[in-house]
């Protein structure tokens, strides 16, 4: 069986083109479902002390800022543990970086490990950053 990997993104609530939207990776068992496992990084204090989050049975549509998602590809369910390992080993954002940089690095690492196809880079480019 396979699951689906998405890049989910939120509204640009600031109105500024300099504002970067929040990005996260999202895994669902069913195509186009809004319920699944969310993986993201956050800097709650805005002091460059990033932390990873994993939310099981998360419903994207319950967030008031969620806008949409872009499918990145299929993931063999046998590789879901490998996906989580890659995400846990992907470096947290450093100074001047944010969640989008983390997601880009994570996707590149997932491609290197053969968990997702290189086409994920093309799909990732469809997600708005500002």
Mean pLDDT by 10 residues, the chain (130 residues): 96 72 96 96 88 97 92 97 98 93 98 97 93
The pLDDT, as a whole number, for residue 6 is 98
- The Cα 83–Cα 36 span in angstroms is 14
What pLDDT, on the 0 to 100 scale, is given for residue 127?
93
Which strand (E) or helix (H) includes residue 119?
helix 119-124
pLDDT of residue 31: 93
Across the chain, the runs of DSSP E, i.e. the strands, are 2-10, 23-28, 35-42, 51-59, 66-76
For helices 80-89 and 99-112, angle between their N-to-C axes, nearest 10 degrees: 130
CA distance 62 to 89: 28
pLDDT of residue 14: 67
Domain range summary for the chain, segments of one domain joined by + = 2-124
């Amino acid at each position: 069986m396979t699951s689906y990997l998405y890049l989910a993104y939120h509204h640009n609530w600031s109105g500024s083109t300099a504002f970067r939207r929040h990005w996260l990776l999202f895994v669902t068992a069913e195509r186009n479902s809004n319920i699944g496992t969310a993986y993201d990084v956050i800097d709650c204090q805005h002091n460059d002390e990033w932390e990873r989050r994993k939310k099981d049975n998360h419903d994207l549509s319950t967030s008031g800022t969620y806008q949409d998602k872009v499918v990145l590809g299929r993931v063999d369910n046998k590789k879901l543990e490998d996906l989580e390992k890659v995400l846990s080993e992907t470096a947290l954002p450093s100074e001047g970086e944010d969640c989008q940089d983390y997601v880009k690095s994570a996707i590149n690492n997932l491609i290197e490990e053969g968990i997702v196809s290189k086409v994920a880079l093309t799909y990732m480019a469809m997600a708005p950053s500002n």
